[in-house]
Amino acid sequence: MIAADVLLSGCTGGRAPAAPHNSANAEAHAGSPGRPAPQPQIVRPMEIPALGPKTRAQLTTSNRQAVVVTGDNRNSNQATVMLYERDAAQAWHAVSGPWRAHNALLGWTDDHRQGDLRSPIGVFGLTDAGGRLPDPGTRLPYEQESAFTASGTGFEGEPLTGAFDYVVAINYNRTPRTTPRDQTRPLGADKGGGIWIHVDHGGPTQGCISLPKGRMKELLRWLDPTKKPVVAMGHETALAK
């Protein structure tokens, strides 16, 4: 993920008159005794603060947008979302956030299983979107379909109506560039699936990430498939590895 370090060293211009060679002149060019010669300065591109080296290694140089979902702790269903973009110099910059979000009822896991009520930890592509409502202006492929309907109540008794008005499929155990409703599970059905970013209904989810409706529209309009967007998601300690 990380571009080669940029090596910056000082340089001088112009031409100085030739000086006779002697030991004193040589010492002046080498630096004063006891004083180290100036060292080149290493300048590294800015990184995403929440991500440690193991997590950063899962991104490639083609990933120029990142949604970072940081859970409060391993067992928390509350999270914070930040949006980042990478510039031509390979430096990451925050462009929006922090936004408050919900994740799964029981928190996070690095071995997600169907029905475990935990959100999967990792870095996943974001290639497809959809919802019950018309496309709000995203550049991702968008499927408007009445089948994006949630009913019943959530874990805190809140109504689920409208939760799937807008969704972005998270490429965990799914085939990219298909409808978010696709049921193909490349890792097997026992590893779960159908993990989305969707409209928040005011309580924890079964495994998805949820954002307020206005933030979902903002996210959809920001995501650009030419920038190969990803989501890096997990609790704070996991992402910092």
**pLDDT tens, the chain, 241 aa long:** 333 333 333 332 333 344 444 444 444 444 455 677 666 665 578 999 999 999 999 999 999 999 999 999 999 999 999 999 999 999 999 999 999 999 999 999 999 999 999 999 999 999 999 999 999 999 999 999 999 999 999 999 999 999 999 999 999 999 999 999 999 999 999 999 999 999 999 999 999 999 999 999 999 999 999 999 999 999 999 999 9
Residues 152 and 233 in one domain: yes
- The pLDDT, as a whole number, for residue 7 is 30
Residues 32 and 98 in one domain: no
Residues 71 and 115 in one domain: yes
Question: Could you tell me the residue range of the domain that residue 22 belongs to?
Answer: 6-43
- The pLDDT, as a whole number, for residue 45 is 84
- The pLDDT, as a whole number, for residue 25 is 46
Residues 180 and 156 in one domain: yes
Residues 180 and 64 in one domain: yes
Write the burial class of residue 42 (CB in 10 Å: 0-12 exposed, 13-18 middle, 19+ buried).
Answer: exposed
Number of domains in the chain: 2
Residues 160 and 209 in one domain: yes
Does a structural domain hold residue 48? no
- The pLDDT, as a whole number, for residue 5 is 34
- The pLDDT, as a whole number, for residue 151 is 93
Residues 32 and 107 in one domain: no
Residues 69 and 35 in one domain: no
Residues 80 and 13 in one domain: no
Residues 38 and 65 in one domain: no
